[in-house]
Structure 1
Amino acid sequence: MNEGTGRPGRRRRSNSSRSVPQGSTPQTGDSGWGAAEPPRRPEAAYEQTGTMSAQPYEPGPRPGPRTPEPYHPGQQQPGPHQPGRREPAPQQAPHQSPQHAPREVAPRTPGPRGQASRGETETRSRANQETMVSDGPRRARGRGGGGGGGPQGPAGPGKPEGDKPRWRRFIPNWKIVMAGFAVLAAGLFGMIAVAYANMPVPTQDQVQEGVDDQGSVIYDENKKVLARLGVKRIPVTYDQVPRAVQDAVIAAENSSFRDDSGISFSGMMRSLWSTASGQQVQGASTITQQMARNYYDGLSQERSVQRKLKEIFVAVKLNKQLSKEKILEQYLNTIYFGRGAYGIGAAADAFFGKKVEKLTPEQGAYLAGRIQNPDAFDRAELAGKMGDTEFRYNYVIKQMALLDPTAYGALPAKSPKSPKRIKYKTKDYFKGLAGYEVEAVLNELKARGISREDVEKGGYKIYSTFNKELMQAAKNAVNKHTAGLPGEINATLAAVDPTNGRVRAFYGGDDYEKDQWNDAFLSQKQAASAFKPYVLAAWLDAGYSLNSYVPTKGPVKLPGTTDINNDHAMKASAVDVVSATAQSVNTAYAKMGEKVGLDKVIDIASKAGLNEGRLKDAESRHHYLITIGSSQVTAVEQAGGYSIFANGGKHYPSHVVIQVRDKKNQVVFNEKKTPVRVISEDAAADAVTALEAVVKQGTGRNAALYDRPVAGKTGTNNENKEAWFVGFTPQLSTAVGMFRQECRTKAGRVVQPVHDNCPVTRGKSKKYNAQNPYSKPYEVPLGSGFQGATYPAAIWKSFMTEAMKGQKVEQFPPRADTGIAENLAPKPVPTPTATKDPFPEQDSDEVCGEMGLCDDDQIVSIDPNQNDGVPQDEPTVIGQGQGSMPARPGPMPVRRENQ
């Protein structure tokens, strides 16, 4: 083979080295000439030969055409470079940059052909490694390099990669960035699609708590509104809302509502961006979104991207499931307008005092504008600042004009000022007498399982038993007869319809706001002799008659009971039951109770409506004293209890609620329609006969009405601490009670109770201290002149006179005269006298025998202008003091035909 020849396009390996390192001149053995190489394949620059890759290089200038010599294996290769001969530069691939010349080349040591010395090989290897690190495949951007073994080439326009600023090395390629965004978007879209598919559509049973809360209305006996409690909400239907009002709300809140898909993409993106950026979440929710958020459960008011996405999903699904009309209807019934009004129905009433059907376009625009921030508008308007109101109103009417120019185009010019509203005032339903009525209703509903919270949210219609006129008549009667009395004296009244048990009127205080204690329902006082009719009912129901004679002399000694005496002296040793009732004889009723048994008495009284627990407590502590009134009762209980006599022995429980209906107008509760039979009809008729005698000729004559029959019973307890008159006509049973409570300071000063407590005065304020032993009032005697026959009877008569006006006069049933005579004492034999009887048609001894008022030389003479001589009522419990009835005008003479 000729020297200097080699295979074109390939570099020959040395037998002593795994690769041919780059040097200044390609060598073959130790004497070969550098051969010109044709342009190499691009990939050849990166092929490794042994541990190193052959580096690309640019061809240098060439002297001219040169025919390569053929290569013959085994032939000596050209020797070292001969002086005067120029070596051609190696050719470079078109895409490669010029190569640098080696910085340093170790001297070559001649050796065998085809082999390089070990030192030369290692030196070249290190040089090539440095070249690879610094120059690399992107050398085309750097400086030019010299040819293989030739002089260094001219400088190129760029720098090597290693010379770039470090920060630029971390900037990813734009293609990689876009690919990442695409993957992220695809994943996010998939997640949203899955979340949307799994989002359930809310149902009507999944509404938020309180979203459909509706305040309840309490009506009186005549179905007039007594009070409104709780949330102001008047549900309306879509058709009830005028089109102009609908358009006003749509123009103000979501002008594309009738055509959109339930969401606004521009508003949605703005809201999501503001939330994600940490700013306050913006609005831009559609009407459908607002309805979903405010109506259905699971969508809170939390400001988060998660909640917003959930709201969007629900809105889209609801828009497909519900009609636009239904969505708008639920929205208008849910949204808050201010002044405590929830829903357009309540807002129409609160701001304009009218029903929603009567709203004008201007009024609708005003209400629609308030949805944005109702509380802020309330505060501004109460302060007289109308600027924001007018600005918002004008915005809405202009939007309406844009929404429908034909219908509302002239509205901005026609009505530039907002419409006039009614004056905002909160009505206090707990003021005055109404507060006591409302409280009584709420207490009864609570006992029936309807709490006050339920009432305030349940949208109930509650029909009460109270008659407004009778309530005022009760107050007037009490105030008339207690004017000028000490403030510590309390009077209470209750009136019950015996035919159904309805409490039609009561008096428990003047003003609920000042004193919440309702004496008619809450004050439990000893019944005194007003309890005796229950003993009478037990006596008659046991089969004993009014003709039975009972003892009038005391003391009566009974097991477990202190001696029982009468409050006044009785001349006769025995009287019949009618006379014993008319004159309220303690000894007689104690023996009657012993005869029938206390269990029978308690059973009758409890069935008539008295509290069984208190009855048994009185029996356990006082035993037979219960027959003369040691048990505690309320005015309502007494009025209801006496109704068994007016209603033929049947009893309806006393109540204040007739009916309750829910928001769907379904009946939740009805008053009891079936009475309880307490005593027989004949026993009731005979009891009425005895109780009529109390008013006609006994201790209750001050209660007589001039135009109709009355029956009743007085009661005054020991030391006159409590006084009662309980009476009835066939249409109404009424109880009046009086008592006196005082508070005393440690210094002994008398202080009037407040709210059934004693005030502890500190500075200018009054507070209550439960630890203060003087913080609870105690009872004291009413004072001279107070018995059941005086003030209570007078109050009863005043009230019943008003209550019976215009009412039909009804008569009591005739005396049945049933049962057997059971004489608990021998019948006395009266002695006639020569005194002329003022009643020719009536024998004097008959009067004495029936009333027990005469002795051997005296008969009864009743003068309407003189003291009638009727003794005061008797004590019922501890102590048996005596007293006398104060002088007062007497009734007309009692005649036989009126008995």
Structure 2
Amino acid sequence: MALLAVAGFTVLYQAIDVPNPNEDFETQTSFVYYADGKTQLGRYATQNRDSISYDEMPQSVKDAVVAAENRSFWTDRGLDPKGIVRAAFSNAKGNAQQGASTITQQYVKILYLTQERSYKRKMKEAVVSLKLQRQQSKQQILEGYLNTIYFGRGAYGIEAAAHAYFDKPAKDLTLRESAVLASVINNPTRFDPANGKENKEALLERYQYVLSGMASMGTADAAKVDKAREKLPKFPKVKAESAYAGQKGFMLEMIKRELLRLNFTEQEINGGGLRVYTTFSRKAMDAAKQGVEEARPKGKKDLHVAVASVQPGTGALRGFYAGQDYLDSQLNWATAGGSPGSSFKPFALAAGIDAGYSLKDTFEGNSPYEYPNGDRVRNEGSGPDGLGNDYGDKINMIKATEESVNTAFADLTESIPDGPDKILDMANKLGIPRWDKSRTGMDHLRTSPGLQPISGIALGSATVSPVNMANAYATIANGGKSAPVFMIEKVVDESGETRYRHKVSNDRALDEDKAADVSYAMQQVVQNGTGANAQALGRPAAGKTGTATNADDHVSSSWFVGYTPQMSTAVMYVKGSGNESLEGYLEPFYGATYPTMTWTAVMKRLMDGLPVEEFPPPAYVDGDAPEEGHLPYTPPPKPTKKPKPTKTTETPSESPTKTPGPPTDKPSNTPGPPTSTCGVLDPNCDSQNPSPTDSPTNGNGNGGGGGGGGAAASREQYAYRE
């Protein structure tokens, strides 16, 4: 068998020649498109590269890269047999895929071959590597490698990388900076310090590994290494490309992360000639940006306003606003999120109805409410005893939702068997991801940190992204059928082959009648409760306010999440790092004010050109209540009065006076954007309305989009211990 293997390899060695270098490494620019499939959103550049000679490269970079990627480089023949055997055994055992590529093999793969993952390509790579090291010196191979390898941030080669990370030419790199650039080659996304605290910590570990390797190999002074190991070098603020300005940088980063999740490689994304078709509507992106500019208060630089709009029935993310310009900060608040406060309550209401309670069933409205474990929750307001407003000991769930009564939702949670777990399950089915503790960083699109089955779960203390809140509400708008949120419709490679296509899938999260009941209660929030400012939309709408507090009992975020039958939108206001107090900074800070007005300003633009659609009527589902004592309140009968004797002479009776009902006048609408015949759900809308996504607009000040709301706001709070 050994003789046959040697003979076979000899035949391959003779048959395979060193091919001509790939033209630009056989890479082509990957383009990203809006939902219309025609309008280009942006692109991933492939060759941000400026080749330099071996002598122009600092010795610290050469030594650091060898220590990081291939410590036997100067003595091996282009292959590492021990590494190949070790990787083969590991892969055969089903462990994580390991490679055994030397610097020569990596260079061959990039310059001469393809990124195909197959044993045939690996065999060809090995043969070409053996031949190349006979044709070129080690210095030539290392020079070529350092001019072609990808360092992240769109930079190919050491010269472009030096500018991308440290804003200087490669010849001026220090030992610390050289070790950083050698470190990021292994995983440019994970080891980019700009991607968050966890990434920076991972980079530090890899950086120390590289420096230790240099010291053990004798290519760096041990004393200098010990000093350099203590901390990473300073990273200057490098001006991003103007193509990433506004919201485009966030869109491209979101799409790139999603492509990586779908198992596309960095090199395919940056140079594989892909055509990526997204769900983003240009009109929806403009609506989010312009709505925020119209409604948010002016002159508050630390205020971040996040918006996300999801289409019910499909889960397509149509538009968002990340909180600021990408060039100012790369933190996307639409996916980072915050504590949703009482805007989480509809998930508890859905769980309660699903458990057998009805909208008319009653719960504790007086404040405070004490849990079995001793924790207490109170309603907003001082009340007669200074412990929150009282609403009576029998308040139905319509009124509790309308006025966002904390104690009623606490009572509901305790009255559902395994209430916290059932509420968590319901939120998850509707579209809120569970807490995935393996995910770190500030991207919370697929995790909800802190979301646990605790007694106060209904009051929204976990971290949830606006994208996921919008999607969960979209499930209710869609009659209880959920669809996973997504942002990529399809991906086509350079040969025209469709590599990925999204398939919309709907799962029944909540019975249609039950969803109609939850939706009805949320419509009352707009018609009669804390979300009255949303009446300015001028069409049927449902939603819920949220005002969350942190551990110091200070308001940390303010929300309004709502929907029409065609679109669901979430709005979140936070300050600074996301957990700083809004009190004394944003006044008023309630979700009933700025967030609701912002939602209205955004939705006016989203609904422009779409027909007015009605919600289904409530079904008033009444199941088998799992606990007694919550029957609808029935007022006692009035005392019967003795009729007065009738007179013989009759006079014409007047028509009975009707009891005044709730006012029918809606708040006056503020002027909206110009009307358009192109709706946001039309896939060809973007190409018909070529207004630039990031074009400047003139806002109307603090009152923009809010028109006439007048309901008293409720400051929804978390449970607290006394």
Superposed pair shares fold, TM > 0.5: yes
Partner in structure 2 of residue 827 of structure 1: 633
The partner residue of 1:664 within 483, 487, 495 is: 495
The partner residue of 2:300 within 486, 489, 502 is: 486
Q: Measured at CA, do residues 225 and 197 of structure 1 come closer, stay the same or move farther in structure 2, by a change above 3 Å? A: closer
Q: CA deviation at 1:683?
A: 0.8
Partner in structure 1 of residue 270 of structure 2: 456
Map of 1:603-622 to 2, 5 A cutoff?
A: 603-613=425-435, 618=450
Q: CA deviation at 1:520?
A: 0.5
Map of 1:269-284 to 2, 5 A cutoff?
A: none
Map of 1:492-531 to 2, 5 A cutoff?
A: 492-522=306-336, 524-531=337-344
For the 8 Å contact 2:434–2:451, the answer to whether it is kept is no
Q: Measured at CA, do residues 295 and 442 of structure 1 come closer, stay the same or move farther in structure 2, by a change above 3 Å? A: closer
Segments of structure 1 that go 5 or more residues without pairing to the other structure are 1-194, 234-292, 309-339, 343-425, 743-755, 757-776, 833-838, 848-863, 881-899
Residue deviations 1:66-114 (CA, integer Å, cap 9, x gap): xxxxxxxxxxxxxxxxxxxxxxxxxxxxxxxxxxxxxxxxxxxxxxxxx
Residue 199 in structure 1 maps to residue 30 in structure 2: no
The partner residue of 1:211 within 25, 48, 51 is: 25
Residue deviations 1:257-295 (CA, integer Å, cap 9, x gap): xxxxxxxxxxxxxxxxxxxxxxxxxxxxxxxxxxxx967
Q: How far apart, in 1, do the equivalents of 2:563 and 2:330 lie?
A: 28
Q: How far apart, in 2, do the equivalents of 1:737 and 1:867 lie?
A: 19
Q: Measured at CA, do residues 830 and 643 of structure 1 come closer, stay the same or move farther in structure 2, by a change above 3 Å? A: farther
Q: How far apart, in 1, do the equivalents of 2:415 and 2:24 lie?
A: 60
Q: CA deviation at 1:699?
A: 0.5
Partner in structure 2 of residue 810 of structure 1: 613
Equivalent position amino acid for 2:309 in 1: A
Q: Measured at CA, do residues 818 and 303 of structure 1 come closer, stay the same or move farther in structure 2, by a change above 3 Å? A: closer
Residue 721 in structure 1 maps to residue 556 in structure 2: yes
The partner residue of 2:399 within 561, 579, 591 is: 579
Name the SS of the counterpart of 1:704 in structure 2. Answer: helix
Q: Measured at CA, do residues 218 and 841 of structure 1 come closer, stay the same or move farther in structure 2, by a change above 3 Å? A: farther
Residue deviations 1:126-153 (CA, integer Å, cap 9, x gap): xxxxxxxxxxxxxxxxxxxxxxxxxxxx
Q: Measured at CA, do residues 656 and 575 of structure 1 come closer, stay the same or move farther in structure 2, by a change above 3 Å? A: same
Residue 733 in structure 1 maps to residue 568 in structure 2: yes
Equivalent position amino acid for 1:573 in 2: D
Name the SS of the counterpart of 1:683 in structure 2. Answer: helix
Residue deviations 1:429-461 (CA, integer Å, cap 9, x gap): 322210011011111222222243331122221
Name the SS of the counterpart of 2:544 in structure 1. Answer: strand
Q: Measured at CA, do residues 307 and 675 of structure 1 come closer, stay the same or move farther in structure 2, by a change above 3 Å? A: same
Map of 1:536-547 to 2, 5 A cutoff?
A: 536-547=349-360
Residue 230 in structure 1 maps to residue 45 in structure 2: yes
Q: CA deviation at 1:215?
A: 2.4
Q: CA deviation at 1:303?
A: 9.9
Residue deviations 1:396-430 (CA, integer Å, cap 9, x gap): xxxxxxxxxxxxxxxxxxxxxxxxxxxxxx97432
Residue 534 in structure 1 maps to residue 534 in structure 2: no
Partner in structure 1 of residue 289 of structure 2: 475
Q: Measured at CA, do residues 840 and 307 of structure 1 come closer, stay the same or move farther in structure 2, by a change above 3 Å? A: farther
Q: CA deviation at 1:477?
A: 1.4
Equivalent position amino acid for 1:789 in 2: A
Equivalent position amino acid for 1:595 in 2: S
Q: How far apart, in 2, do the equivalents of 1:634 and 1:579 lie?
A: 27
Q: How far apart, in 1, do the equivalents of 2:609 and 2:657 lie?
A: 36
Q: CA deviation at 1:528?
A: 0.7
Residue deviations 1:139-176 (CA, integer Å, cap 9, x gap): xxxxxxxxxxxxxxxxxxxxxxxxxxxxxxxxxxxxxx
- Residues paired across the two proteins, number: 456
Q: CA deviation at 1:871?
A: 4.1
Q: Measured at CA, do residues 731 and 869 of structure 1 come closer, stay the same or move farther in structure 2, by a change above 3 Å? A: closer
Q: Measured at CA, do residues 664 and 617 of structure 1 come closer, stay the same or move farther in structure 2, by a change above 3 Å? A: closer
Partner in structure 2 of residue 590 of structure 1: 410
Q: CA deviation at 1:629?
A: 1.4
TM-score normalised per structure 1: 0.46
Q: Larger RCO: Structure 1 or Structure 2 (Cα < 8 Å, ≥ 6 residues apart)? A: 2
Partner in structure 1 of residue 593 of structure 2: 790
Map of 1:249-648 to 2, 5 A cutoff?
A: 306=135, 428-522=242-336, 524-560=337-373, 562-568=375-381, 569-596=389-416, 597-613=419-435, 618=450, 623-648=454-479
Residue 870 in structure 1 maps to residue 673 in structure 2: no
Q: How far apart, in 1, do the equivalents of 2:244 and 2:537 lie?
A: 37
The partner residue of 2:529 within 673, 698, 704 is: 698
For the 8 Å contact 1:546–1:821, the answer to whether it is kept is no
Equivalent position amino acid for 1:457 in 2: G
Q: How far apart, in 1, do the equivalents of 2:489 and 2:448 lie?
A: 30
Q: CA deviation at 1:562?
A: 1.7
Q: How far apart, in 1, do the equivalents of 2:320 and 2:12 lie?
A: 63
CA RMSD of aligned residues (A): 4.0
Q: How far apart, in 2, do the equivalents of 1:796 and 1:879 lie?
A: 34
For the 8 Å contact 1:545–1:821, the answer to whether it is kept is no
Q: How far apart, in 1, do the equivalents of 2:606 and 2:512 lie?
A: 26
Name the SS of the counterpart of 2:244 in structure 1. Answer: coil
Name the SS of the counterpart of 1:613 in structure 2. Answer: coil
Q: Measured at CA, do residues 497 and 648 of structure 1 come closer, stay the same or move farther in structure 2, by a change above 3 Å? A: same
Report the structure number with the largest CA radius of gyration: 1
Q: How far apart, in 2, do the equivalents of 1:669 and 1:574 lie?
A: 54
Q: Measured at CA, do residues 448 and 797 of structure 1 come closer, stay the same or move farther in structure 2, by a change above 3 Å? A: same
Equivalent position amino acid for 2:290 in 1: N
Residue deviations 1:575-595 (CA, integer Å, cap 9, x gap): 221111111111111111122
For the 8 Å contact 2:557–2:574, the answer to whether it is kept is yes
Q: Measured at CA, do residues 706 and 472 of structure 1 come closer, stay the same or move farther in structure 2, by a change above 3 Å? A: closer
Q: How far apart, in 1, do the equivalents of 2:450 and 2:40 lie?
A: 41
Segments of structure 2 that go 5 or more residues without pairing to the other structure are 1-9, 49-110, 115-124, 138-153, 157-239, 382-388, 437-446, 639-655, 664-705
Q: CA deviation at 1:609?
A: 2.3
Map of 1:86-235 to 2, 5 A cutoff?
A: 199-200=14-15, 211-223=25-37, 224-231=39-46
Map of 1:80-91 to 2, 5 A cutoff?
A: none
Q: CA deviation at 1:510?
A: 3.2
Q: Measured at CA, do residues 209 and 623 of structure 1 come closer, stay the same or move farther in structure 2, by a change above 3 Å? A: farther
Q: Measured at CA, do residues 821 and 701 of structure 1 come closer, stay the same or move farther in structure 2, by a change above 3 Å? A: farther
Q: CA deviation at 1:610?
A: 1.7
Q: CA deviation at 1:307?
A: 7.1
The partner residue of 2:520 within 686, 689, 702 is: 689
Q: CA deviation at 1:662?
A: 2.1
For the 8 Å contact 2:423–2:457, the answer to whether it is kept is no
TM-score normalised per structure 2: 0.57
Equivalent position amino acid for 1:440 in 2: M
Q: Measured at CA, do residues 499 and 561 of structure 1 come closer, stay the same or move farther in structure 2, by a change above 3 Å? A: farther
Identity of aligned residues (%): 30
Partner in structure 2 of residue 164 of structure 1: none
Equivalent position amino acid for 1:711 in 2: A
Q: CA deviation at 1:804?
A: 0.5
Equivalent position amino acid for 1:653 in 2: P
Q: How far apart, in 1, do the equivalents of 2:278 and 2:499 lie?
A: 14
Q: How far apart, in 2, do the equivalents of 1:213 and 1:842 lie?
A: 75
